[in-house]
Amino acid sequence: MKVLNARVEALLTTENPENFVTSRVPQIDLMYEGIPGDRHFGYTKLSNGRERMYPRGTEIRNRRQVSILSQEECDEAARRLGIKTIKPEWLGANMVISGFPSLSQLPSGSRILFPSGASLYCEGENFPCIYPGQIIQSYYEDIPKLPQRFVKEAYGLRGIVCSVEREGEIRPDSTIDIYVNLEWQGRNWVEGGTGCEVQ
């Protein structure tokens, strides 16, 4: 694994689990179920269109406990949409980091370690859906079709989702260690075969 650093700029949780939008908090105590009180808290969740191998609404293990945005990617998405800013609150993010401009490409299986020892496990890229775009639209009423454009323009810039690998306290203004999982490096799945091979 390769280790890189980044900085926690903000932590956020949903004040009301019914509501997608998050609010800034000074500290989070990560549990194996996720962020206490947050919309995505739980060992399990109900499957949706992101897990198409299951009938919609199937109870499965929850891998989307914590969502993380890169400040640099957020700025780039705002630039592409021609708006001044996209607030992480509007996207329902739980964390914003800086100094890691390709967060959305971080491979599954990478780890993010905090000064307390708490740790998140990267479960893969997040993908834009239409709800955050509707919230962005409400702040920029003069700009047309932001919900639809957000889904397209924010693709590859929407950050990652994580599960908790080790419990503990996390705070803003701290430095994190990102252990990049390179297991797939140099591998290539062989289409049409019955397995894959290392090239």
Q: How would DSSP label each residue in the chain?
A: -EEEEEEEEEEEEESSTT-S-EEEES-EEEBTTBSTTSTT-SSEEE--TT-TTS-TT-EEE---SEEEEEHHHHHHHHHHHT-S---GGGGT-SEEEES-TTGGGPPTT-EEE-TTS-EEEEEEE----HHHHHHHHHH-TTSTTHHHHHHHHTTT-S-EEEEEEE-EEE-SS-EEEEEE--TTTTEEE-TTSSSEEE-
Q: Would you count residue 101 as binding its own copies (CB under 8 A)?
A: yes
Choose which of 49, 57, 61, 142 interacts with its own copies (CB under 8 A).
61
Stretch that binds its own copies, among 8-16, 17-25, 127-135, 176-184 (CB under 8 A): 176-184
Question: Is 24 or 43 the residue whose CB approaches its own copies more closely?
Answer: 43
Q: Would you count residue 194 as binding its own copies (CB under 8 A)?
A: yes
Residue 97 one-letter amino acid: I
Question: Is 20 or 179 the residue whose CB approaches its own copies more closely?
Answer: 179
Choose which of 127, 140, 155, 179 interacts with its own copies (CB under 8 A).
179
Question: Is 14 or 163 the residue whose CB approaches its own copies more closely?
Answer: 163
Q: How far is the CB of 68 from its own copies (least distance, A)?
A: 13
Q: Would you count residue 109 as binding its own copies (CB under 8 A)?
A: yes
For binding to its own copies (CB under 8 A), which residues are involved?
1-2, 4, 32, 43-44, 53-54, 58-61, 99-103, 105-109, 111, 113, 117, 119, 121, 123-125, 156, 163-167, 177, 179-185, 187-189, 191, 193-198
